[in-house]
Amino acid sequence: QVQLQESGGGSVQAGGSTRLTCIVSGYRGSSNCIGWIRQAPGKEREGVAAIYTGGGSLSYTDSVKGRFTISKDNTKNTVYLQMNNLKPEDTAMYYCTADFVFSGGTCFLFVPDFASWGQGTQVTVSS
């Protein structure tokens, strides 16, 4: 069973930066897409960024392009999300998941109903 442990985040002022970390354990499959989803109060869950573990292809939702960077360290089974130039609308609970849909090495920023994720980490951006 895959286990995902998120950390990082916290309270940040607009324009600031923070980094999220996701440690993945128990994964036994082949290449997949792992990354981050977020959910703000009263809003639907949103795929933010994903990376294809078999080749490093990256996917970002439009609102974070140029500000967020996803990366991975295979030696540590860890995925990072560097978040720069944060905006109040980035405020949400961020979850790491290894269940992003993918095809041909490209990650799509949505997850199936059976997707699992960690306990989440809160990012709050104040103006």
Identify the CA nearest to 34 among candidates 110, 113, 96. 96
Q: What was the pLDDT predicted at 113?
A: 85
Each residue's pLDDT tens digit, 32-79: 899 999 999 999 999 999 999 888 799 999 999 999 999 999 889 999
Helix (H, G, I), strand (E, B) or coil at 88: helix
Q: What was the pLDDT predicted at 54?
A: 87
Identify the CA nearest to 78 among candidates 1, 28, 3. 3
Lowest average pLDDT, out of 25-29, 55-59, 70-74, 106-110, goes to 25-29
Averaged confidence pLDDT in the chain = 93
Alpha-helical runs (H) found in the chain: none
**For residue 92, with 0-12 CB atoms within 10 Å meaning exposed, 13-18 middle and 19 or more buried, which class applies?**
buried
Beta 10-13 vs 121-126: how paired, if at all?
parallel
